[in-house]
Amino acid sequence: MSDAWPWLLLAGLGAFHGLNPAMGWLFAVALGLHRGSMAAVLWALPPLAIGHLLSIGIVAGLAVATGALVDGRWIYAGAGLLLIGWAAWIQFYGHRHRVRIGMTAGFGGLLLWSFLMATAHGAGLMILPALMPLCLAASPVQALGGTQSPMIALAAVLVHTGAMLAVTAAIAIAVYRWIGLGILRSAWLNFDWIWSAALAATGVVLLTNL
């Protein structure tokens, strides 16, 4: 069972992203309400998922590529520092986004928005702690640079995004069809605080386990 935890962690992080109104389901519901159709809610889901997938895919790809060149410990140290820095950035400057995409967004706009939101949240950085042990287990000698690593990284990104998409879809459909947006007033917890704390804590764990 110990082999399963990184995959569960990847899926769990995906579900957490799916849960956060600022990562997509709320946009899908809004577009459904504007265009007056459940179809608009459903059509918003693929670009939201693809944008998210690209964001974490790029980070995972960079990690694997870097892993081919340097020792795994450096990757852990770098990821740890980045996570802590990102948490601090979100805490102090996270509210200062340039808004580029509005309510008339189409497929490309939603994809770009989802990519930017996931990137700004450091979503890709957060999957590194789960991804690295998987790659290490697959080819312990070469660590992240192993020949298996790209395939494992791809699987990791897909598992994460799959979980994110499933939760996003479930909530978007439920809120659009049955629950209604009044729920926002009480249930929209400060995910940014939880997320920043998780980023920073993960960063500290990575650094202390070097």
Partner 1 sequence: MASWKPDPTFYPSPRMAMKAPAETVAYVAAFDPARQTPDAIAVVDVDPASATYGTIIEQVAMPNAGDELHHFGWNACSSCLCPNAPHPHTERRYLVVPGLRSSRIHIIDTKHDPRKPQIVKVIEPAEVAEKAGYTRPHTVHCGPEGIYVAALGNAEGKAPGGIFLMDHETFDIRGQWEIERGPQQLAYDAWWHLGHDTMVTSEWGTPDMFEEGLVPEILLGAKYGRRLHFWDLHTRKHQQTIDFGDKQQLVFELRPAHNPTKAYGFVNCVLSLENLSSSIWTWFRDGDQWAVKKIIEIPAEPADPDKLPPMLKGFGAVPPLVTDIDLSMDDKFLYISCWGTGDLLQYDVSDPFDPKLTGKVRIGGIVSRATHPGAKNGALNGGPQMVEISRDGRRVYFTNSLYGVIDEQFYPEGIDGWMVKLDVNPEGGIAFDEKFFVEWPKSHRPHQVRLEGGDCSSDSYCYP
| List of residues contacting partner 1 (CB under 8 A) | 21-22, 26-27, 29-30, 33-34, 95-105, 113, 181-182, 184-186, 188-190, 192-193
- Of 49, 51, 32, 52, the C-alpha closest to 40 is 32
Note whether 201 and 70 are within 8 A (CB).
Answer: no
CB atoms within 10 A of CB 207: 15
Minimum distance from residue 22 beta carbon to partner 1 (Å) = 5
- Are 79 and 63 within 8 A, CB to CB? yes
Tell me the residue length of the chain.
210
Of 107 and 188, nearer to partner 1 (C-beta) is 188
What is the spatial distance between Cα 160 and Cα 210, in angstroms, rounded to a whole number?
Answer: 25
Least separation, in Å, of the C-beta of 30 and partner 1? 5
CB nearer partner 1, residue 30 or residue 130: 30
Separation of alpha carbons 41 and 197, rounded Å: 31
Task: Report the nearest approach of partner 1 to the CB of residue 38 (Å).
Answer: 15
The residue among 36 and 141 lying less far from partner 1, judged by its C-beta, is 36
Nearer to partner 1, 2 or 186 (CB): 186
